[in-house]
């Protein structure tokens, strides 16, 4: 794979600390709150290769471009709300991915590095507690359409946000 720059404007990518205690689910916390600082005091233990790379990027040991390349070749967990039919059979073939709208009106698709990372976050979103899919990140980009940002691991000590413009740029590379 070529080392050509995937992203011309790296400032648009933010490795962020998210505040899981805000009820309006504003994704990015520019100033860490007391709750965020307390949450960060618990070390983030990577559970898979993607989490190792995410942590390395947040700590400045991996360039954002290299993390994006790794993300493109990784699987992510997408919480899905689905109608349940008889027993555990699906009532439909369409699920509703978890997304939220920020205070400025930006729609954000919620993704996680593993199903375990999603559990605390989805507890505040009825219908998403038990459903989701593990899928290639490229597949997610292909299916999600335009106009959405992405939050990877919201509510976790180590997270990653992409603005809609950056999602579009990555999707077209």
What pTM was computed for the model? Answer: 0.75
Q: How much of the chain exceeds pLDDT 70, in percent? A: 69
How do the domains of the chain map onto residue ranges? Answer: 14-20+32-39+75-171
Is residue 91 very low, low, confident or very high in pLDDT (cuts 50, 70, 90)?
A: low
Label residues 72-81 b or e (16+ Cβ within 10 Å = b): bebbbbbbbb
Q: What is the mean pLDDT of residues 17-24?
A: 35
Is residue 144 very low, low, confident or very high in pLDDT (cuts 50, 70, 90)?
A: very high
Is residue 43 very low, low, confident or very high in pLDDT (cuts 50, 70, 90)?
A: confident
With a CB cutoff of 8 Å and minimum separation 6, the contacts of 46 are 52, 54, 55
Q: Which fold has domain 14-20+32-39+75-171?
A: Trna Endonuclease; Chain: A, domain 1 (3.40.1350)
Q: How many CA atoms lie within 13 A of 1 on its CB side?
A: 11
Q: What is the mean pLDDT of residues 79-84?
A: 80
């Amino acid at each position: 794979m070529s080392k050509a720059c995937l992203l011309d404007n790296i400032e648009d990518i933010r490795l962020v600390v998210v505040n899981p205690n805000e009820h309006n689910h504003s994704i990015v916390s520019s100033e860490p709150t007391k709750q965020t600082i307390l949450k960060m005091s618990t070390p983030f233990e990577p559970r898979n290769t993607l989490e190792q790379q995410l942590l390395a990027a947040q700590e400045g040991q991996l360039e954002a471009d290299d993390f994006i390349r790794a993300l493109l070749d990784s699987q992510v967990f997408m919480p899905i709300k689905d109608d349940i039919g008889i027993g555990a059979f699906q009532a439909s073939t369409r699920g509703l991915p978890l997304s939220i709208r920020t205070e400025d009106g930006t729609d954000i698709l919620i993704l996680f590095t593993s199903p375990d990372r999603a559990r605390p976050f989805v507890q505040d979103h009825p219908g998403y507690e038990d459903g989701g899919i593990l899928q290639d990140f490229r597949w997610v980009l292909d299916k999600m359409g335009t106009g959405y940002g992405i939050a990877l691991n919201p509510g976790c000590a180590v997270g990653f946000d992409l603005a809609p413009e950056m999602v579009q740029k990555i999707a077209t590379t």
